[in-house]
Structure 1
């Protein structure tokens, strides 16, 4: 497997916490989804990112229903001096290392790493983030931003992101919505939350 060479990793800022969502539902050369995702956590460490904590591991139904096997999802809290843009570049490099090819929106994933939030950072600006948050569902299936959108524009809608996020930072406040992660979880439909199943016996190595 090729070594990771990340673009822009020399871009530095003040040390910040960031929260990354991990997901996969397809096997890779590394192994089954959980093995691939655990390897990706190690990749972060190997690139000098401090992995502070990890959420529980969850199983999530594939969307749309019947489109593929269930997903493995979890989140990690990291600490880094990299800029948000450099962190995103690093995540894309790790995805590529494990066979991710960005073609079809909402298709099965060998690996999916999403930068959910980085302290209270808003990128590129509040107006653009709000526009992507307000994007109709019909457009979400075909459109993807070409630049970093931070916070992730869909975290408030996605139980598979919010529930692991709440394990790590329930009091983090969305800079545009003014709601904590726990408040956003509480606002989700009960049916969405009930589909996210914690998996016993799986613990993400963080040391």
Structure 2
């Protein structure tokens, strides 16, 4: 059975495939070759690294995909593609050639609501120090990231957060205007 999922892709370092925009394009093609069908993809956007000052500007995009993979299997495929693009996991929120986050998988809350709420409520200073050892869905930081919500609004404006029920535009409107203004659409190639 097909699983509809939302991916957020980003990078701010040169990879063996080229600059970050070229790397994102390569990643989507690589995912297709691995059985992940790209249904819709956003424009590319540029924005400051997160957290601010942690490296060069990022290029980001969002894609709606489907596959026969279960969420954990899809995450393994995403990590394979990251590795193909030279991703090395050395520093949390540091520069990287490619980062592909699984934002949502068919509206699931995974592994359970209690763990999701714990991770989504983690204070910012703790977010920088620790990362989950297991998949948490929906992504516990989506509501905080204009660089995901803006391209998501382009690709999947009707999506509702499976826990809060908020839509993409509503979550985006709750972010500071300065965060929203930092995400700039790149011209189409």
C-alpha deviation, 1:66, in angstroms: 3.3
Give the structure 1 partner of residue 26 of structure 2.
39
C-alpha deviation, 1:183, in angstroms: 1.2
Q: Distance in 1 between matches of 2:37 and 2:165?
A: 28
Question: Does the residue aligned with 2:13 lie in a helix, a strand or coil?
Answer: coil
Give the structure 1 partner of residue 122 of structure 2.
135
Q: Distance in 2 between matches of 1:70 and 1:121?
A: 31
C-alpha deviation, 1:33, in angstroms: 0.9
Residues matched between the structures, number: 189
Give the structure 1 partner of residue 48 of structure 2.
61
Give the structure 2 partner of residue 146 of structure 1.
133
1:195 and 2:182 are equivalent in the alignment: yes
Cα offsets for 1:28-63 (capped at 9, x unmatched): 111111111110000011001111111111001123
Task: Please give the residue correspondences for 1:13-162 in structure 2 after superposition, counting only pairs within 5 Å.
Answer: 14-162=1-149
C-alpha deviation, 1:189, in angstroms: 1.1
Q: Distance in 2 between matches of 1:147 and 1:66?
A: 28
Q: Distance in 1 between matches of 2:54 and 2:121?
A: 25
1:183 and 2:189 are equivalent in the alignment: no
Runs of 5+ unmatched residues, structure 2? none
Q: Distance in 1 between matches of 2:84 and 2:43?
A: 24
Question: Does the residue aligned with 1:104 lie in a helix, a strand or coil?
Answer: coil
Question: Does the residue aligned with 1:163 lie in a helix, a strand or coil?
Answer: helix
Q: Distance in 2 between matches of 1:85 and 1:65?
A: 30
Would you say the 8 A contact 2:9–2:99 is kept in 1?
A: yes
Cα offsets for 1:75-117 (capped at 9, x unmatched): 1110112101111110011101111111211110111000011
Q: Distance in 1 between matches of 2:15 and 2:80?
A: 15
C-alpha deviation, 1:167, in angstroms: 1.0
Alignment RMSD (CA, Å) = 1.0
C-alpha deviation, 1:17, in angstroms: 1.1
C-alpha deviation, 1:201, in angstroms: 2.4
Question: Does the residue aligned with 1:129 lie in a helix, a strand or coil?
Answer: helix
